[in-house]
Amino acid sequence: MMTRLGAIEAEIYQVKNQSGQDPLNYPIRLNNKIAGLAGVVSGVDARPTDQSYAVFKILSAQLDSRLAAMKTEMASLAAINAKLKSFGKDEIVPNTVEILAARAGA
């Protein structure tokens, strides 16, 4: 499960990035493409172009696909937790809390 979730994450975000220069060393992923499009759209005082809408539609579909795959993968967690419980082990509890406090202090 972790391997499959890691692969999905790596399609959305470049997990090898360690510094601000790493996007130059590793291929950009979906989040960088969306951020690039946001920069293009927000950089002018006009409505987004038809091309921007088309790219947004493509990138949104790709992200939706990856998020659906992640949701499908997470559905197997119940079976894994049942197995862990049968062995007297603690269940895996997903943590969905965003790390916003660190950003606020930075």
- Structure confidence at residue 97 (pLDDT): 66
pLDDT tens digit sequence for 2-38: 889 889 999 998 888 877 777 778 888 999 999 999 9
Q: What are phi and psi of 17, to 5 degrees?
A: -65, 125
SS3 content of the chain, % helix, strand, coil (to 5): 65, 0, 35
What pTM, to 2 d.p., does this model score?
Answer: 0.73
- Structure confidence at residue 19 (pLDDT): 79
pLDDT tens digit sequence for 51-100: 999 999 999 999 999 999 999 998 898 999 999 999 999 998 887 766 55
- Structure confidence at residue 81 (pLDDT): 93
Q: Of 2, 26, 3, nearest to 15 (Cα)?
A: 26
